[in-house]
Amino acid sequence: MIVSIICGLVMLVLLALDLILKAWAYAYQVSQKSYFLGFIRINYLPGGNTGIAWGMFGNTPAAMVVITILTVVMIGAIAALFFTVFKKNTPARVCLAVIEAGAIGNLVDRLCLGYVRDFVDVSPIGFNICNFADFYITFGAIALLIVILFVGKDAVIPLGKYRKQAKEEEAKAEAEKQAEAEKQAEEPHGD
């Protein structure tokens, strides 16, 4: 219960941060001339992004409807995974909360404005203009993949102490299965 509350708070704080920064960038039409560290600057996108990431499918009303529906489905699926499949996996639940914040942040823009407010220009590294919600979705998904693959005893390829723990549990389960099979073989059969 505590993990669910903390993840909910993380999601709400990240969502608020995303919406506040979008509002700020658009209210003040912030456009920096130079890139910070050579790859990132604030540069609001006039008219917003009517498509999905990096402007794909922009100005296509049918695509916007499909994207909006898929986003709602994704938000529901993330919530379902949070409370079922990853119920006992705290790192995965945190990743899902981060992804959920991004999905809801962009959905709010689509439903309220008809476009997504993009203002973070990262074009020097091969992307275009995006927003914090996009970062949440991207980095949350990457972190979730790492968690699923490597973190915890239920990981696909558990690392460190979890690998040893997983092998011990696997050996214990195999020994119990073997003992049960031997027990059944010793019992007299009533033919």
pLDDT (0 to 100) of residue 186: 82
Average confidence (pLDDT) over 142-157: 89
pLDDT (0 to 100) of residue 11: 98
pLDDT (0 to 100) of residue 122: 87
pLDDT (0 to 100) of residue 190: 57
**Distance from chain centroid for Cα 172:** 34
- In degrees, rounded to 5, the angle at the alpha carbon of residue 50 between the alpha carbons of residues 144 and 104 is 35
Tokens of 134: 């996009």
pLDDT tens-digit readout, 32-45? 888 888 888 999 88
pLDDT (0 to 100) of residue 66: 86
Note the helical H segments in 84-124: 90-113
Average confidence (pLDDT) over 53-81: 84
Whole-angstrom Cα distance, residue 27 to residue 115? 15
DSSP structure string for 30-80: -B-SS-BTTTBEEB--TT-BSSSGGGTTTT-HHHHHHHHHHHHHHHHHHHH
Average confidence (pLDDT) over 133-146: 96
pLDDT-derived band at 50 (thresholds 50, 70, 90) equals confident
Q: Which of the residues 18, 118, 154, 191 is marked catalytic?
A: 118
Going from N- to C-terminal start, the domains of the chain cover 2-151, 158-191
pLDDT (0 to 100) of residue 56: 66
Active site annotation includes 118: yes
Whole-angstrom Cα distance, residue 114 to residue 110? 5
Q: Which of the residues 18, 109, 121, 134 is marked catalytic?
A: 134
| DSSP type of residue 116 | B
| DSSP type of residue 130 | E
Partner residues linked to 75 by β-bridges: none
pLDDT (0 to 100) of residue 163: 65
- 57, pLDDT greater than 70: no
| DSSP type of residue 129 | E
